[in-house]
Amino acid sequence: MKKYLIWVATVLFVTNGSAQTTIKAMSFNIRLDAASDGENRWDLRKNRVAGLMQYYEPDFIGAQEVLHHQLTYIDSMLVQYSFIGVGRDDGKTLGEYSCIFYNQEKYIPIKQSTFWLAPKSDSVCMGWDAVCNRVCTYGLFKNKKTNQVVWVFNTHFDHVGKTARIESSKLILKKIKELNVKNDPVILLGDFNLRPTEEPIQNIASEMNNARDISKMVYGNIDTWNAFKFKEKPNGGIDYIFVNKHQKLVVEKFATITDSYDLKYPSDHFPVMATITLLK
């Protein structure tokens, strides 16, 4: 009888252990390639950006300010990853991407697309009072082992247009509702160029959870924009990970990653990362 009970307990433990999926999701504004950055320009730090991504091994990386040659470099370095997304200025390769890198050994995209943060969102368009074209790339991904699915959205809000940022928050929430008809788990990543108390963030927070706020464990300060100024205090938490209010989604950990090298940062933004459990 004792042997039988031990065997049953072991089987139950293994079964329960496989009944959930752990996701690590990162948002990372890598800073576009600008010669004016001098000692912080892309060719001097690109290996640091790729190395950080490789070390932390996120399942999903929502990257912002990614020019096409930066995209191809990161893609070549992260051999276990693939990506979705398009350039914001032509819907192909021109302009910045708000792409999503995903671990292709674990996930496959079932659906994917990009929309513009503008009234006419299905084609290249500058929205409201924005000064740049802005996009949101998204995908529905399936875990190869558990078959669980998750929506991942990644965006970069305008840095000037106040109306654009307000309307962009409303548009993204609307798109999520339209797409997520089966009420699956949703992760929204991005550089929103906004503090937590500002209206567009409050709009999103009214329907989704800020992962930092609900995480069981939080590591690091809220400030994410460092402006490459190593000796000054970073100013402003403007990079976020949001999750929908799904009963089977639990945020276990949240971190602001402040890694540095030679008194320099890999980017002018710190990446943020959440470890999320999807219960079966």
Q: What is the CATH number of the domain that holds 61?
A: 3.60.10.10
What pLDDT score does 18 carry? Answer: 52
Residue 271 lies in a domain: no
Residue 267 lies in a domain: no
Q: Has residue 272 been placed in a domain?
A: no
Q: How far apart are CA 18 and CA 34, in angstroms?
A: 46
Q: Is residue 107 part of a domain?
A: yes
Range of the domain at 117: 22-258
Q: How many CA atoms lie within 13 A of 111 on its CB side?
A: 10
- Indicate the number of domains in the chain: 1
pLDDT per residue of the chain (280 residues) written in tens, 0 to 9: 444 343 333 333 333 445 699 999 999 999 999 999 999 999 999 999 999 999 999 999 999 999 999 999 999 999 999 999 999 999 999 999 999 999 999 999 999 999 999 999 999 999 999 999 999 999 999 999 999 999 999 999 999 999 999 999 999 999 999 999 999 999 999 999 999 999 999 999 999 999 999 999 999 999 999 999 999 999 889 999 999 999 999 999 999 999 999 999 999 999 999 999 999 8
**Residue 15 belongs to a domain:** no
β-strand pairing of 239-244 with 217-219: unpaired
Would residue 116 count as lying in a domain? yes
Residue 219 located in a structural domain: yes
Does residue 264 lie in a domain region?
no
C-alpha closest to that of 226 among 167, 279, 269 = 269
